[in-house]
Amino acid sequence: MDSRTRVSLALAHEEPDRVPIDFWASPELTAQLLMRYGFSTQEELLRHFNVDFRYIDGPVYIGPALVEHADGTKEDHFGVPRRRVVYGEGNTQGSYSEVAASPLGGAESVEDIERYPHWPKPEWFDYEPVREQARQARAEGKVVVFMGDRLNRCAQLKPAMYIRGMEQILMDLCMNEGIAHALFGRIADFYAEYMRRTLEAAEGNIDLMFTGDDFGTQGNTFMPDDTWRKFLRAGFRRFIDIGHAFGCKVAHHTCGSITSLIPEFIECGLDILNPIQPDVRGMDYAKIKAEFGRDICFHGGMSIQKTLPYGTPADVRNEVKDRVEKLAGDGGLILCTAHNIQTDTPLENVESLFQAYAEFGPYR
């Protein structure tokens, strides 16, 4: 059975030959694996692990030159200055881009939001490369996905946190509703058109559109469910409707304890929920499968916070077994980690992960 058929059956809540497999890892961890196996390309690694999905890079930024400041911070296309942070050492060293300041943190009115000079425009991106990216990925016979990175992934709350500041945007939800609506509206307008142009350029060769916006913490949602409905539901539904209009399935990534929002996601038409994060409050896999497993598919579930970095290979194997037993029945599951596997993860645990996928993934 090929990957596209396998995933199609799983998303239809039917049992294919095995549970589909996805692979998420930091670039540094991927480089370690390439070296370990003697591979020269990531494609070789994905084939070795029998991964069913292929992610394309997406549109290329061609807008105004991004400002770099004397202190080394560099503005992103939202005008948010970011600094590169390096962590770890030796083979486990990695890096990420950290927000250095929130340029709209001091805004006091809707007019201040509207006057902000750095709102990005969809025409700042070249969508033509998507055509060939998607065509080549489809030629591999795998499921073609566009997700983007943290800056070009369709979202609302996270970009607002970057621009306005995490504490301030959460305060706005209670005290400055006009500002919150203005922020989310500008962000959603940009990403909706960005998404539409991306899918149009792909000419039907993108199978899965991944949006991403963290709505939860380890212990709860960032806001009450009715507040989510008031401020974020319309944009969330808008992204899904655009994906469906182009014949795509739509997945959404949200970390945290968000089980109370799953009915909302289903009502909005979401096809796949990622990552059903372990190690957070209320993530009872048997319960969410029983309550929601006929209406939505699940992607993820493997702990990158505890089991993979700190467990044994046997712990990893047992976690995969548990997830398959609780979530794979009647299809509707895609095996993957809850986020990118990090550089401090023992490679033996990564190998155990994929060996366990092969052992427990087949439907009997």
How confident is residue 88, by pLDDT bands cut at 50, 70 and 90? Answer: confident
Averaged pLDDT score across all residues of the chain: 96
Any domain includes 59: yes
Q: In the predicted model, is pLDDT for residue 89 greater than 90?
A: no
- Residue 96 above 90 pLDDT? no
Query: Which stretches within the chain are classed as H helix?
Result: 3-11, 27-37, 42-48, 110-115, 128-139, 157-164, 166-175, 177-202, 225-231, 233-245, 262-267, 285-292, 307-310, 313-327, 347-360
- The answer to whether the CB of 164 falls within 8 A of the CB of 107 is yes
- Decide if 239 is inside a domain: yes
Q: Per the domain annotation, does 70 fall within a domain?
A: no
Asked if residue 78 belongs to a domain, the reply is no
Q: How far apart are CA 184 and CA 332, in angstroms?
A: 31
- In a domain, residue 75? The reply is no
Residue type, 33: L
Instruction: Report in angstroms the alpha-carbon separations of 2 from 43, 50, 271.
Output: 16, 11, 21
Which residue reads 């060996």 in tokens?
355
97 in any annotated domain: no
Number of domains in the chain: 1
pLDDT of residue 167: 97
Decide if pLDDT at 228 tops 90. yes
Question: Which residues form the domain of 232?
Answer: 3-65+105-360
What mean pLDDT is predicted for residues 336-363?
97
- Pairwise CA distance, residues 142 & 53, whole Å: 6
pLDDT at 144: 98
80 lies in some domain: no
Q: Is the pLDDT reported for residue 90 higher than 80?
A: no
Segment 172-226, tens digit of pLDDT: 999 999 999 999 999 999 999 999 999 999 999 999 999 999 999 999 999 999 9
What CATH number corresponds to the domain at position 311? 3.20.20.210
Q: Could you report the per-residue pLDDT of 115-160, keeping only the tens digit for each?
A: 999 999 999 999 999 999 999 999 988 999 999 877 788 999 999 9
pLDDT digits (tens, 9 = 90+) for 30-45: 999 999 999 999 999 9
Examine residue 100 and state whether it is found in any structural domain, yes or no. no
| The predicted structure's pLDDT at residue 97 | 87
Distance, in Å, from the CA atom of 86 to the CA atom of 95, rounded to the nearest integer, reads 4
Q: pLDDT value at position 255?
A: 95
Specify the pLDDT at position 151.
75
pLDDT computed for residue 95 by the predictor: 82
89 or 344: whose pLDDT is higher? Answer: 344
